[in-house]
Structure 1
Amino acid sequence: MIPTGETRMASAHYARMGHDECDRIHIATLEILERTGVDVHDENARKILAAGGASVDGVRIRIPEFMVTRALASAPRRLTLYDRAKRPAIRAWGHNTYYGGGSDCLNVLDHRTGKRREPLLADVVAATKVMDFLPEIDFVMSLFLPKDVDARIYDRYQMEVMLNHTTKPIVFVSPDFQGCVAAVEMCEAVAGGEEAFRQYPFATCYINVTAGLVANAESLQKCIYLAEKGLPQLWIPLNAGGVNSPATIAGCMASMNAGILLGVVLSQLVRPGVPIAVPGWNGGPYNLKTMVGNYVLADEQGVPTSMGKYYDLPVFGLGGSTDAKVLDHQAGMECTVSLMTALLHGANIVHDVGFMDSGIQGSLQLQVMASETIGFLRAATRGVVVDDETLALDAIHEVGPTGSFLQHPHTLRHYKEPFYSKLFDKGPYSMWEKNGRLTLEEKAAREVDRILDTHTAEALPEKVREAIASIVRREQAWIDNQ
């Protein structure tokens, strides 16, 4: 059974690895943690791990099996994110799949000119508005790294924009520990206090960890801070097979998994039962032909997600991306395939919809097209209801072999249920000509403009907006005095 966005489906999901393969990688990971160890570049994290039973040799930490077993027993299988109105919006467990954008692209593929350019804060606003509107996009990320704000604290400006222009859940990224603290403070201002945000978290931090065997200080500090507050986190160490880990899938995944379990152990030592999600991409060979960090590679598909399912932990996946530079066949194929594999493998929170050029470029057009694709995929994998109403035996008998169902009450009850794309052209050639011979790319550009012209998220109260802005001003003053 596959649920997507909590819709039950009768079709079987796809697992890249079976239990035996996952079990062998798990056992290998335990040996890596005990024998080789992981470099932990934060003194407080080393103290916490040592108090929990780990051995310390400088920055090298070795973790015995009992610590991993204990942590996996307390780490919850569920991670819930709410919308601004405190309604559950993302139930990240099992095979529920939710999609959203990515963060920090260095370029925009401008939907009006077709040209590539550097992004501004206004582009973060536009991206947030588009993601807030699109029906198949479930959460929001910043998409762009704006060039017209202080580069040292750009993430604070991104967070202010997202909080003001969406009511959907937010996944945020911060380059430093202080940025994570500031983002949480902004969320608490919106929620009405620390406890209110802890009970109904509508945002979570995507923690970038250096690699499977190297945990940087900022990631460890964020992990501890969020765990102390009882907030969910996305703990994401990533390996490049053949570069910082073995070129084989199994070896790359096992060494990456050591860093994943390090985060699980650390978070559960700080606060048992705090939610943590693990990666659903990488864990396979790097592109050694180009030495570019590609976003859609065949060999890694589903490997880390299989391990996440093995541990019964929420999975932070990747999909709706492409390494293409323009909206061509490669873009459409890679976007669709990565969305589909994330769905079939059961990744829960799937980010980077709209990413292009190995994450260097973002496209609002691609997000609009991907939303249509997600709708198609969800319909194509949805379970089929078979009961007296859907079998329609009485209607078949009434109409008979030569009658028409077009005006039958049964048709009127159900004709709106199938998926009908707003952008994909399904009409005759003559109608396509009459409507201007528009390509999907052109229709997506028009849809972006329509959304930007007409859609506005429910505004925050003025007092809350000012509270958020004051935190950003405080951060700007702080960085200016460094």
Structure 2
Amino acid sequence: MKPSISYLSQEEILYIHNQSLLMLREIGMKMPHKETLALLKSAGAEIVDNDIVKIPEKMVESALATVPKRNEVVLYARDPSQDVTFNKHEPGLACMTMAVNVMDPLTQEKRPATNEDLAVLTRMADQLENVTVNGGLVTPQEVPGAYNDWYTWATTIKNTTKHITGGMFGAKCVQDAAKMASIAVGGEAEFRKRPFISGWVLTLPPFGISTETLDSLVEMNKWNIPSIVSSGPILGTSSPITIAGTVAQAHAEILACIVISQLVNPGCPIIYTSFARGIDMKTGNISMACPEFGILKVAMSQMGRHFDLPVRMPSLLRDAKVMDAQAGFETGMIGTMGGMAADLLDSMQLDMDMVVDFADLVFCDDCMAGIKRATRELVVDTSTIAMDVMKNVGPGGNFLAQPHTFQNFRKELWLPGLLERRNWDLWEQDGAKDIYTVARERMLEMIQKTPENRLSPSAEKEIDTIVEQAQV
């Protein structure tokens, strides 16, 4: 049996879904985008006060009927061996995006992120086994702010062969990101066959979507680029203080995006996610690692899984400022909760997703390996019961030398690559290093490696030219 975690019963999932449908029908969504409004009106939605769209239940049902299900969705990679599928629940890490600061890998001081930082981090993520989706972990701060997304797409496309998720600021950004990706695979026709990028679609709680986001969503669907659709309300500020109410509101906002997507291009893939989060009422700060955040991730995952959709949830975005005991606790708590419920876990950021420590990538990768082991199916059959082996060993015997042990120990026992398990004396003889020191040493080795699978200089120049032309 495969382990699972849940906060909602089947009856509660259906009740929340029906309440979400009621919200869309009676409250509606603010959508200031002419093309979207015209599309929704022609499909049967009611438009009030110029840009408030009230969506009938039949439109939602129609969209849920055409949106691809888990076993139909592939997040393509430039390297086909890195494709991400959702036939089974096998959680993996996804690079969260848009942190603005880094801990300098050499000085360990916090400073604004640069485009070179992004390149190095992207190459690191490309090397890590448990990172299945790459992306712009940081947003370069030294480039023109209005074109951050263009620089991020150019840098990530040039430095990874994995699937990439990034920000999309309007239709023009989508078009240019698709052009850059097309260059990497030899042309637009090849890219359209295997679009190896996906874009964030973030609602504007409560019950809104910005003009730029709608522009991006519509354009991505025209290209058949997967949309990572998220509603991120904050308990008690942009949604009700209650978790159940927040889940219902977030689900409604995601459903609205699915309706638009399937009207533009029926069958275009959607990844269901939510940044619904808590708040610390003493400080007024958002929390990305409180228990409520974990509960919200599980409950929202249940809503997405109920409709058989691929699910991606932020789960390793710690409130901790540095890689300390707090970061370890938050990684273990929210990471395991997310790993039990979601397919992809947004990760590898600190300080409420504002800071990236290069060494944290190594730490999160090892933690993810442990989480994957904990969420794996427990197989019970003749081989795993091993009655014949027990008979052979008998009372007072030893299983260590048995072929069955040798054949199965790597499958049964997780062997960490980073965590310390030796006795005290050996650890002390090796320098008595804490986990941050070990992670940092491995990080320094990784960033010195010569990049592999780089694009040709001419292809990289073409990509850079698209960024330059966008600013003219």
Per the normalisation by structure 2, the TM-score is 0.93
SS class of match (1:326): coil
Q: Displacement of 1:93 after TM fit?
A: 5.7
1:232 to 221, 226, 230: 226
CA distance in 2 between counterparts of 1:181 and 1:92 reads 27
Offset at residue 408 of structure 1 (A): 4.5
Please give the alpha-carbon distance, in whole angstroms, between the structure 1 residues aligned to 2:371 and 2:182: 36
Deviation of 1:20 (Å): 1.5
Return the match for 2:470 from 458, 467, 475.
Answer: 475
SS of the equivalent of 1:67 reads helix
In structure 2, what is the equivalent of residue 53 of structure 1? Answer: 44
1:299 match: secondary structure: helix
Q: What per-residue deviation string (whole Å, max 9, x for no partner) do you get for residues 119-163 of structure 1?
A: 111111121111111111111121112122222212222222211
Corresponding residue for 1:22?
13
Of 420-429 and 39-48, more deviation after overlay is shown by 420-429
> 1:368 — aligned with what?
362
Deviations 1:31-77 (A, max 9, x none): 21111111101011000000110011201111111111111111111
Return the offset for 1:103. 1.3
Which letter does structure 2 place at the counterpart of 1:459? R
Q: Residue 444 of structure 2 is aligned with which of 449, 466, 474?
A: 449
> Are 2:412 and 1:420 aligned?
no
Q: Percent identity?
A: 26
2:306 to 310, 315, 323: 310
Shift of 1:216: 0.5
Partner of 1:187: 181
Deviation at 1:441, TM superposition (A): 0.5
Kindly indicate whether residue 91 of structure 2 is the aligned counterpart of residue 97 of structure 1.
yes
TM-score normalised to the size of structure 1?
A: 0.91
Equivalences for residues 262-301 of structure 1 within 5 A: 262-282=256-276, 285-300=278-293, 301=295
How many residue pairs are counted as aligned between the two chains? 465
Which residue of 309, 315, 322 maps to 1:326?
322
Following superposition, the deviation at residue 397 of structure 1 comes to 4.6
> Are the equivalent residues in 2 in contact too, given 1:112–1:445 (CA < 8 A)?
no
Quote the RMSD (CA, aligned, Å): 2.1
Change in 2 beyond 3 A, CA 1:379/1:316: closer
Q: Whole-Å Cα distance in 1 between the matches of residues 414 and 178 of structure 2?
A: 38
- Give unmatched runs, 5+ long, in structure 2: none
Deviation at 1:430, TM superposition (A): 0.7
Contact 1:93 1:348 in 2 (8 A): no
Q: Distance in 1 between matches of 2:364 and 2:52?
A: 43
User: The residue matched to 1:357 in structure 2 has which SS?
Assistant: coil
- Helix, strand or coil for the counterpart of 1:454? coil
Distance 2:383 2:245 in 1: 52
Alignment partners' CA distance in 2, 1:254 and 1:404: 55
SS for the counterpart of 1:100 is strand
Match of 2:433 among 435, 438, 444: 438
Unpaired runs of 5+ in structure 1?
Answer: 1-9
Deviates more, 1:207-216 or 1:443-452: 207-216
Q: Could you say what secondary structure the match of 2:108 adopts? A: coil
List per-residue Cα deviations over 1:329-375 (Å, max 9, x = no partner): 11111112221111112x12221x21111111112222211111111
Establish whether residue 146 from structure 1 lines up as the match of residue 140 from structure 2.
yes
Matched, 1:127 2:121: yes
Query: Deviation of residue 393 (structure 1)?
Result: 4.6
Equivalence map 1:110-259=2 (5 Å): 110-259=104-253
Secondary structure, counterpart of 1:139 in structure 2: strand
**Partner deviation per Cα, 1:420-465 (whole Å, 9 max, x = no partner):** 1121111111101110010000001001001111252312233432
Q: 1:408 to 1:258 in 2, by over 3 A?
A: closer
Q: Check the 8 A contact 1:248/1:285 in 2, yes or no.
A: no
Once the two structures are overlaid, the 10-residue window that deviates more, 200-209 or 35-44, is: 200-209
Report the Cα offset of residue 83 of structure 1: 2.0
Looking at structure 2, the residues matched to 313 and 415 of structure 1 have their Cα atoms a distance apart, in angstroms, of 34
Q: Tell me the equivalent position of 1:39.
A: 30
1:38–1:213 CA contact under 8 A, matched in 2: yes
Are residues 475 and 254 of structure 1, via their aligned partners in 2, closer, same or farther at CA, if it must alter by over 3 Å?
A: same
Deviation at 1:387, TM superposition (A): 4.7
- Residue range with higher mean Cα deviation, 376-385 or 357-366: 376-385
The one-letter code sitting in structure 2 at the alignment partner of 1:20 is E
Indicate the SS of the match to 1:183: helix
Secondary structure of the residue aligned to 1:319 is strand
2:100–2:113 CA contact under 8 A, matched in 1 = yes
In structure 1, the residue corresponding to 2:142 is in which secondary structure? coil
Distance in 2 between the 1:333 and 1:342 partners?
Answer: 14
Q: Secondary structure at the match of 2:271?
A: strand
Measured at CA, do residues 135 and 455 of structure 1 come closer, stay the same or move farther in structure 2, by a change above 3 Å? farther
The answer to whether 1:343 aligns with 2:352 is: no
Structure 2: how far apart are the matches of 1:119 and 1:465?
A: 22
Whole-angstrom distance in 2 between the partners of 1:111 and 1:462: 27
